[in-house]
Amino acid sequence: MHPFSTCLNALIKARNVKITALSQYLNIDRSSFHQVLNGKRLPSSPDIVDSIAAYLSLCPEEHAALKQAWTIEKVTPPVYYRRKHVRSFLESYLPEASFTNLPLWNMMQDFSGLPDGRFPESHRLLNGRREVLLYLGRILREETAHPQGRIALRFQPDQKPFMDLLRVFPAVYPFRMDHIICLNQTDEIDTNRKMINLSLLSEILPLYQKQDITYRTFYHYDDSHSHFSMFNGMPCLFLTSSCAISARADFQNALLYTDKDCVRIFWDLFRKCRQISPQLIHAYPVCEINRPLLEPMEEIYIPVSPVNPLHRNLLICISEQKMALIYNRIIHLIQEVSILSAFRDFLTCEEANDIYTSKNGKEFLNGLWRELCPPSPNS
């Protein structure tokens, strides 16, 4: 595939432009320009693309499309779309963006239609995503009504209705939630031209902003598509102290267990899986004792605007060992995963220069630290 030559030939044909006249205008010999048109070579610089746009009198949209095609072919489509996704991820932390503006759908009221008290059966077959979602809401409601609530999850965060339920569910008491997810070992992009792992991370981060959850994420590496899309029994699991829901990857069918022995077996299996899955994000209070964690060595610092007026500025710190997210006086360290290589690649490309810089990371860090930890009146 040659995006640039395809786009350029279509524009030349639409305007009935003579190839010889265009090549002379660009000061490129005819044979070399034919190689460009045949997809055998690219213009050596974006300035030549601008000159082509000027000669063809392209409108701004056509000019942008031609330049995008040149960039895609220059850096290869996978690299281009990875960089685009990283930039979109960073820009999602603008002030008008908020993780809290999630709709409380009408289905939240449907929980009242489920019977209260202990489930009468030791197990129950759930059919359809809606029924699975409703019963998940039921067991969440019951578990979070106890001061020592605990919830364990093993499913992919790209299941948006279930992640939205976790974000907006009103807990009576604060509770702890452990979540095991599966990451790809590469920075692969999906059919939507987005990085699989970065999309999963985008879904996880909002849960760290909820005040009523002590949320921990654990991960293991695998091929997410083959592991969760092919038949693999019921790989998704939701656990509370008294219930277990084991579901297919598409959540069309699930089994609800309330038998104590069954629930205990599921908890044993979950703990064994968690023991071999490293923790993805660690949370530390922002205080002087933890300041050495942020001392700049070879890290890259990305200043980002707060996602919520109540939160302070967000800093993403990427190094060989960790990626730290700082907001509301909390540091989140993300271990080295394939996401970081994509961040580093974006920060070193020319496209990043207009909005981010890695050169002033130390200065930004010092300024942010003064804001997060202002000196006490007595110091």
Q: Of 275, 303, 329, at which residue does a domain stop?
A: 275
Handedness of CA 41, 86, 351, 293 (dihedral sign): negative
> Per the domain annotation, does 96 fall within a domain?
no
Handedness of CA 311, 315, 316, 319 (dihedral sign): negative
Are residue 144 and residue 264 in the same domain, yes or no? yes
Structure tokens at 255: 């089994």
Residue 159 has pLDDT above 70, yes or no: yes
Distance CA 277, CA 294 (A): 25
Q: Are 199 and 159 in contact (CB under 8 A)?
A: no
> Per the domain annotation, does 143 fall within a domain?
yes
Our measurement of the distance from residue 202's CA atom to the centroid of its chain's CA atoms, rounded to an integer in Å, reads 3
Distance CA 317, CA 333 (A): 9
Q: How far apart are the first and last CA of the chain?
A: 64
Q: Are 66 and 53 in contact (CB under 8 A)?
A: yes
Residue 94 has pLDDT above 80, yes or no: no
Q: Of 260, 275, 290, at which residue does a domain stop?
A: 275
Q: Which residue has the higher pLDDT, 76 or 287?
A: 76
> Per the domain annotation, does 242 fall within a domain?
yes
- Point out the least confidently predicted range of 107-116, 202-211, 249-258: 107-116
Q: Of 253, 275, 297, at which residue does a domain stop?
A: 275
Q: Which residue has the higher pLDDT, 156 or 98?
A: 156
Q: Which residue has the higher pLDDT, 187 or 195?
A: 195
Are residue 306 and residue 321 in the same domain, yes or no? yes
Q: How many structural domains is the chain composed of?
A: 3
Q: Percentage of the chain with pLDDT > 90?
A: 16
Amino acid present at 179: H
Are residue 253 and residue 135 in the same domain, yes or no? yes
Distance CA 62, CA 56 (A): 10
Distance CA 246, CA 235 (A): 7
Q: What pTM does this model have? A: 0.77
Residue 267 has pLDDT above 70, yes or no: yes
The whole domain housing 305 covers: 281-372
- Point out the least confidently predicted range of 73-87, 126-140, 231-245: 231-245
Are residue 125 and residue 215 in the same domain, yes or no? yes
On average, the pLDDT of the chain sits at 77
Residue 106 has pLDDT above 60, yes or no: no
Q: What is the DSSP letter of 112?
A: G
Are residue 325 and residue 257 in the same domain, yes or no? no
Residue 264 has pLDDT above 90, yes or no: yes
